[in-house]
């Protein structure tokens, strides 16, 4: 991943103490259990990651001592909860290197972040005959909201092809970026292939034509240092649960000038300045986009997850994971009949593969008997499966707490899978 760091960010990170995986593992209670009588090897991190004590403690503390509804209260508990919630916004601001808390909107996760942009920015700016540009490697959550918008507006969804390695075709991208393109939306890191997209170049090219860019950062946030100022993107969205925080919470970053011009998403409490039956005026940013009582404890937990990642340092995490991914790639290649799906030049954390003659679901089920958790299926990226001519893959996805020994357990588990199927 280090070679792609220049793509990702230029912001300097303070030097941290050396990365110590055993110390990290000690923070995650869920990792220390047996599954089917064997120590758990958790390799389903791209679907959702485990939570460190620091996140669990922060949520427990809020619910045990500091909990009430936020923003509206004058009493002590409401003030404490509001402070904890708004502190998390500042943490998210620093994590993404946004310019102001007005640019940080708490949402349910990446899916809601993308839907919010499609339903607000998109509905105002995309009209009949216009185009929305995505890539062939998107998660369904970065396809379907745009399809819905295009259907409503009679606009067209255009798709940048990917090559056999799983890299997006930049020549095709330049050609597809046309006068009718109203927004580009793409993953920073592909969940099905692990490809790290050249998002900075994409933003530069799109901006040359005045086209805004949304980056789906769901798979980047746990692995790469994100710097929206350096990237220059208009929107960037992340999910708490993939970055060791709770589920049901995430962040949508939007450039203030762009957000200011967008209509509200949902109506309700907190997003208004005043309401009469005749007319409602809307609250200022970011509250205008946060209708109703939010996931207060989730936001606080996400803040703790951001502290956790920041304390270890994303650069240290990236370096460790890059080495682990290289090791995993090499080891998997030694398994007879195994084909890795997704061999992009820059990759993060994902090892998708198929085994000759064995359905991925069987791989997953047999590995589970060995205490090894991987995901099997289309990974909410059916077009990627179609592109590579497979119905599904098995996917081992790494996080900062995985080890070489766990990769070895995976490889030995795959040998067991082959034996069960009578393959030598």
Ligand X SMILES: Cc1ncc(COP(=O)(O)O)c(C=O)c1O
239 counts as binding ligand X under rule CB under 6 A: yes
Q: Which two tokens stand for residue 416?
A: 């067991």
Kindly state the smallest distance separating residue 137's Cβ from ligand X, in Å: 9
Catalytic residue among 21, 47, 373, 380: 380
Complex with ligand X: residue 222 or 264, whichever CB lies closer: 222
Q: Is the dihedral of CA 216, 217, 220, 226 positive or negative?
A: positive
- Rounded Cα–Cα distance for residues 398 and 236 (Å): 22
Contact 341, 329 (CB under 8 A): no
DSSP state of 295: -
344 counts as binding ligand X under rule CB under 6 A: no
Kindly state the smallest distance separating residue 360's Cβ from ligand X, in Å: 17
Q: What is the C-alpha R_g of the chain?
A: 22
Type and span of the H or E element at 96: helix 76-96
Q: Which two tokens stand for residue 370?
A: 């060995």
Complex with ligand X: residue 135 or 283, whichever CB lies closer: 135
Q: Which stretch binds ligand X (CB under 6 A): 124-132, 139-147, 382-390, 408-416?
A: 139-147
Contact 50, 42 (CB under 8 A): yes
150 is catalytic: no
Per DSSP, what are the bridge partners of residue 275? 280
Q: Where in 379-418 is the site for ligand X (CB under 6 A)?
A: 380
223 counts as binding ligand X under rule CB under 6 A: no
Kindly state the smallest distance separating residue 281's Cβ from ligand X, in Å: 31
Complex with ligand X: residue 288 or 395, whichever CB lies closer: 395
Contact with ligand X (CB under 6 A) among 4, 5, 111, 115:
111
Kindly state the smallest distance separating residue 239's Cβ from ligand X, in Å: 3
Contact with ligand X (CB under 6 A) among 82, 119, 185, 219:
219
Per DSSP, what are the bridge partners of residue 132? 157, 183
Q: What angle do CA 317, 322, 323 make, to 5 degrees?
A: 105
Tokens 């509804």 belong to 69
Contact with ligand X (CB under 6 A) among 131, 216, 315, 370:
216
Report the Cα–Cα distance between both ends of the chain, in Å, rounded.
35
286 counts as binding ligand X under rule CB under 6 A: no
- Closest C-alpha to 398, from 49, 33, 30, 137: 49
Q: Which two tokens stand for residue 202?
A: 């994409």
CA 282 to chain centre: 30
Contact with ligand X (CB under 6 A) among 8, 59, 168, 187:
187
Contact with ligand X (CB under 6 A) among 4, 50, 82, 110:
110
Kindly state the smallest distance separating residue 380's Cβ from ligand X, in Å: 6
Complex with ligand X: residue 239 or 402, whichever CB lies closer: 239
Kindly state the smallest distance separating residue 173's Cβ from ligand X, in Å: 18
Binding site for ligand X (CB under 6 A): 109-111, 139, 141-142, 187, 191, 216, 218-219, 239, 380
Annotated catalytic residues are: 380
């Amino acid at each position: 991943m280090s070679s792609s760091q220049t793509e990702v960010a230029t912001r300097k990170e303070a030097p941290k103490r050396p990365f110590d995986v055993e110390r990290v593992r000690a923070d995650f209670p869920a990792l220390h259990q047996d599954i089917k009588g064997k120590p758990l090897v958790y390799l389903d991190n791209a679907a959702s990651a485990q939570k460190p004590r620091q996140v669990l403690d922060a949520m427990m503390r809020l619910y045990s001592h500091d909990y009430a509804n936020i923003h509206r209260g004058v009493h002590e508990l409401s003030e404490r909860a509001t402070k904890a919630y708004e502190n998390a916004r500042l943490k998210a601001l620093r994590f993404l290197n946004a310019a102001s808390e007005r640019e940080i909107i708490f949402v349910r996760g990446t899916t809601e972040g993308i839907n919010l942009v499609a339903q607000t920015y998109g509905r105002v700016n995309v009209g009949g005959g216009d185009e929305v540009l995505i890539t062939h490697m998107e998660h369904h959550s970065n396809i379907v909201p745009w399809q819905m918008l295009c259907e409503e507006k009679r606009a067209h969804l255009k798709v940048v092809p990917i090559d056999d390695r799983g890299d997006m075709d930049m020549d095709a991208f330049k050609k597809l970026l046309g006068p009718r393109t109203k927004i580009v939306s793409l993953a920073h890191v592909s969940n099905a292939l692990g490809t790290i997209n050249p998002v900075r170049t994409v933003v530069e090219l799109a901006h040359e034509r005045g086209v805004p860019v949304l980056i789906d950062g769901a798979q980047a946030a746990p692995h790469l240092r994100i710097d929206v100022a350096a990237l220059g993107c208009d929107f960037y969205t992340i999910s708490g649960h993939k970055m060791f925080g709770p589920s049901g919470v995430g962040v949508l970053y939007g450039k203030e000038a762009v957000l200011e011009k967008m209509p509200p998403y949902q109506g309700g409490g907190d997003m208004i300045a005043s309401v009469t039956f005749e007319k409602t005026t809307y609250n200022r940013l970011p509250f205008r986009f946060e209708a109703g009582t939010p996931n207060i404890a989730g936001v606080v937990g996400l803040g703790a997850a951001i502290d956790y990642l920041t304390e270890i340092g994303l650069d240290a995490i990236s370096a460790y994971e890059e080495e682990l991914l290289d090791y995993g790639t090499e080891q998997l290649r030694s398994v007879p009949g195994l084909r890795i799906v997704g061999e992009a030049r820059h990759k993060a954390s994902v090892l998708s593969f198929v085994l000759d003659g064995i359905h991925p679901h069987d791989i997953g089920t047999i590995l589970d008997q060995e205490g090894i958790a991987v995901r099997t299926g289309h990974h909410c990226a059916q077009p990627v499966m179609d592109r590579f001519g497979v119905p599904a893959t098995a996917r081992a996805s790494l996080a900062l707490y995985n080890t070489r020994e766990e990769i070895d357990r995976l490889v030995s588990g795959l040998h067991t899978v082959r034996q069960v199927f009578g393959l030598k």
